Structure 1
Amino acid sequence: MKKFFAMILSCALLVTLAACGSMNSTSSEKSTGSQTREQSSQPSEEFSTAFSTSEGTPDTTPESMPEPEPGANALVIYFSWSGNTETIAGEIASQTGADTFQLEPATAYSTDYNTVLDEAQAEQRADARPEIVGSIENFDSYDVIYLGFPNWWGDMPMILYSFLDDYDLSGKTIAPFVSSGGSGFSDALSAIASAEPGATITDGLSLSSSASQTPGGAVADWLADIGFAE
């Protein structure tokens, strides 16, 4: 009988010890999991290092390279109302290194399309010579003149005639370019030749309003055709 009770006590003790061991194991797992979550909520060593390096890295952007010297013997002269001719002029200057001069009237044209059409027609009927703001320095030093304008009522804007009256292009080469709705140069090339009989006039570049938005390829081809490609 004593042996029977002893066996029961032994079994109860074993069950109690097993339960305690299980509780200790569970408590240890919970403690480990809690530590892992705390560590993951902090920046990792790799992140902190990368952040510090980024903040401390000096600016390695190369210094601005000096712009190339402009073409000493070439000048882009243009008048632009809508911006199309100006875009072409800028592309020519970019590809050739030429200087630029914008023809601006002392009395500005209207910014309204219909109104400026009336103004242009009135100037043509009056054979007007709008005054040009400013003057071109060292004009005699230029051998090549890229001359640009929009086609206004089948002709150059009258400010171009002001320029041709004010400056002698004898002995220079004129490379004309025009932006238009589809009329091209109309009679403008003849007018230039008549105003500057002592100048050499190359083939012209004519671009539509849409083509003048991205004139790079057309300008490059034209410059190659007339022998002025860089």
Structure 2
Amino acid sequence: MAVILVFSSPGETLLRGRPVPVMVGNTQRVATLIGQRLHLKPQAIVPQVPYPRTYAALLTRARQEQADQALPALEPLAPALLADPVWFLGYPVWFGDLPRPVVSLLHQAHPKVVLPFATHEGSGFGQSLTTLHQRVPTAQIYPGLPIRGSRVDRAACAVDHWLQQYSTSSLIKKEID
């Protein structure tokens, strides 16, 4: 079995350097593509205090959380989801790292296998994979899928290619089946 856990932030996002409104966050859109291919419903990582919908206000809060190493409280996820051994874990790269709600989640549960996917605007994964290794040192962390947020509309091919790599992996196949 596997689960898709995703932290995404609707509201405003950057497109060609300018904030534009979006109803569904970029990372959620990638999670939906992955979910369609795997026949799994992505599960949202939801902070108890929602993030601001304006890009500038979101940046201010996220920057302060990073500086404070905050662990924002999350809405509870079903224990069975957290106990699933294989996580497709999606997040936007904020300030070159994991967003703090994802770090909060990693304090609650420890998957055996993590397949990360992230949206960014030029940083790729930044140092988020290093942080993942530090937060879940016993997990097998597979090569991830970074997608530029402004290109999520054209991400289907990249998602398919990425998932195809794991369809033949005996460890992943065993855990997913």
Relative to the length of structure 1, the TM-score reads 0.64
Deviations 1:188-230 (A, max 9, x none): 0011011111110110100101221232111000011233699
Amino acid across the alignment from 2:127: D
Contact 2:47/2:74 (CA < 8 Å) preserved in 1?
A: yes
Contact 2:91/2:99 (CA < 8 Å) preserved in 1?
A: yes
Pair 1:114–1:184, CA change in 2 (3 A): same
Give SS of 2:63's match: helix
The structure showing larger relative contact order (alpha-carbon pairs under 8 Å, at least 6 residues apart) is 2
Give, in angstroms, the shift of residue 156 of structure 1: 1.2
Alpha-carbon distance in 2 for matches of 1:150, 1:180 = 6
Q: 5 Å matches for 1:119-198? A: 119-139=61-81, 142-169=84-111, 172-198=112-138
Give, in angstroms, the shift of residue 140 of structure 1: 6.1
Pair 1:208–1:168, CA change in 2 (3 A): same
Aligned to 2:42: 100
Aligned-CA RMSD value = 1.7
Give SS of 1:152's match: coil
Pair 1:140–1:132, CA change in 2 (3 A): closer
Q: Which runs of 4+ in 1 moved over 4 A?
A: none
Tell me which protein shows more strand as a share of its residues.
2
Amino acid across the alignment from 1:225: Q
Deviations 1:85-116 (A, max 9, x none): 00000111110122421011101111110111
Contact 1:202/1:226 (CA < 8 Å) preserved in 2?
A: no
Alpha-carbon distance in 2 for matches of 1:108, 1:92 = 25
Alpha-carbon distance in 2 for matches of 1:102, 1:214 = 22
Pair 1:131–1:209, CA change in 2 (3 A): same
Of structures 1 and 2, the larger Rg is shown by 1
User: Which stretch shifts more, 131-140 or 212-221?
Assistant: 131-140
Task: Give structure 1 stretches of 5+ with no counterpart.
Answer: 1-72
* Aligned length in residues: 156
Percent of aligned pairs with the same amino acid: 29
Give, in angstroms, the shift of residue 155 of structure 1: 1.0
Aligned to 2:21: none
Tell me which protein shows more helix as a share of its residues.
1
Task: Give structure 2 stretches of 5+ with no counterpart.
Answer: 11-24
Q: 5 Å matches for 1:61-140? A: 73-82=1-10, 83-139=25-81
